[in-house]
Amino acid sequence: MSLSKPVTGSLLSAPTVLYMAVFFIVPSLILFAYSFWSAASYQVVPDFVLKNYLGSLTSPLFWKVTFNAISIGLWTATITLILAIPVAYYLVYVARSQTILYLILLTWFSSYLVRIYAWRTLLGTNGVLNTVLLQLGIIDHPVGAFLFSSFAVTITLVHIYLPFCILLVVASLSEIKRDLIDAARDLGTSSIGAFCKVIAPNAANGLIGAFMLTFILVAGDYVTPQMLGGSSGQTTGLLIADQFRKTGNWPLGAAQAFLMFLVSLAIYFALLTAGRMSGLVVHRPRKKKEA
C-alpha cells in the first residue's frame, strides 16, 4: 500500500519543519517576547514596554546606522548583481561549463576573516592601493579614507558575496532556455535587446530574489563593518550585536532586530512594486488548467 500524497509530503518535510520550529520559529518568538521586556543593569526583566521600539525609532544613532546598513546593502547588492549577470549569462548560455562555476565557488573555501584582513592590507595607508596611486602620482600622500569607511565595507562585501550572487543568477537563468534568445534574435532584436526583452522579464523574479538575498545578508553582516567600517561605517547589524555582547541590553537588541526585519521587508515590497510598475516583472494569476 502506498501512502497518500499529503502523508508522503508531511513525512518528507517533517525533519526540516521540526528543525526550523525548534531552532528558528521558537527562538524568534522568544526574541520577539524579549523585545518587549526591559533591561536593568545587565539583567533582563520580563515586562511589557514599548520603549525598546520607541527608543530605537527616535534614536538618531539607530537611524544613522540603519541608513548606513541599507545604503551599503543596496550598493553592494546592486554592484554584485550587475557584475554577476554577465558572468552568469556567460556560464549558462556561452560556456555551458560547470567547471568555471566550481572555480568561482572555490573562493568560498578561503576564510571569510582572512579575506577581510586581506582587504585591510590592500586598502590601508601603506596598502597596495595607496602605494599604486602614489607611484602613479595620482595622490601625493596616502589616503586614509579607503579603510574604515562605507567604501571599504562595500568593496569587501561585494568580493565576499559575488560568488553567492552568481550562483543565484545562474540558477535563475538556467530555467530560461537558450532557444528564447535565438527566437528573439530571429524576430529582430540584437543580443542585448534579447536579454532585456526576453531573458530579464522571465528571470525577473529570480534576479530580484538574488538582489534581495544579497541585500539581506549584506545589510545584516556585522563582521565586515566592524573590521573595516570604522566609526562612519557602522551598521545596524553591528549595533544589534553590541546590544547582545557589550551592553547586555538583549531586549533593545531584539527590538532593533525586528525593526531591521521590517525595513528589509519594506524594501523588498518597494522593489517588487517598482519592478511591476516598470513592467519588468510580470505578475499574473496562475490559472489552474482545467482537467
Partner 1 sequence: MKAPTPIIEIRDGKKSFGSFVALENINLSIHEGEILTLLGPSGCGKTTLMRLIAGFEGLTSGTLRVSGEDVAAVPPERRPVNMVFQRYALFPHLDVFENVAFGLKVKGLAKSEITERVKRMLHIVQLESLANRYIDELSGGQCQRVALARALVNEPKVLLLDEPLAALDLKIRQHMLAEMKRIHAETGATFIYVTHDQDEAMILSDRVVLMEKGRIVQIDRPEDMYARPKSLFAAKFLGETNLFETAVADSGAQGTVAKTASGIGFLSRNGVGHKTGDKVVVSIRPESFSFANNDEGSSQKTQGQVEDVVFIGSRSFYTVRLDDQAKVRIQVQRNGRVKPPEPGSRATIYWDADNVVMLPQA
Minimum gap (Å) between residue 161 Cβ and partner 1 = 28
- Number of residues this chain uses to bind partner 1 (CB under 8 A): 21
Q: Could you say which of 28, 78, 189, 232 contacts partner 1 (CB under 8 A)?
A: 189
Segment contacting partner 1 (CB under 8 A): 39-47, 63-71, 147-155, 280-288? 280-288
Q: Could you say which of 58, 112, 193, 276 contacts partner 1 (CB under 8 A)?
A: 193
97 in contact with partner 1 (CB under 8 A): no
Phi-psi domain of 287 (left: phi exceeds 0; alpha: psi -120 through 50; beta: other): beta
227 in contact with partner 1 (CB under 8 A): no
Name residues whose C-beta falls within 8 Å of residue 185's C-beta, 6 or more positions apart in sequence.
191, 194
Cβ closer to partner 1: 187 or 274?
187
184 in contact with partner 1 (CB under 8 A): yes
Q: Could you say which of 49, 133, 134, 180 contacts partner 1 (CB under 8 A)?
A: 180
289 in contact with partner 1 (CB under 8 A): yes
Minimum gap (Å) between residue 288 Cβ and partner 1 = 10
Q: Are 181 and 93 in contact (CB under 8 A)?
A: yes
187 in contact with partner 1 (CB under 8 A): yes
54 in contact with partner 1 (CB under 8 A): no
> Phi first, then psi: what are they for 43, rounded to 5°?
-115, 140
Segment contacting partner 1 (CB under 8 A): 67-75, 136-144, 198-206, 266-274? 198-206
Q: Could you say which of 5, 140, 284, 291 contacts partner 1 (CB under 8 A)?
A: 284
86 in contact with partner 1 (CB under 8 A): no
Q: Could you say which of 183, 196, 266, 274 contacts partner 1 (CB under 8 A)?
A: 183
Name residues whose C-beta falls within 8 Å of residue 142's C-beta, 6 or more positions apart in sequence.
125, 126, 130, 134
Cβ closer to partner 1: 143 or 180?
180
Which positions touch partner 1 (CB under 8 A)? Answer: 177, 179-180, 182-190, 193, 197-198, 201-202, 282, 284, 287, 289
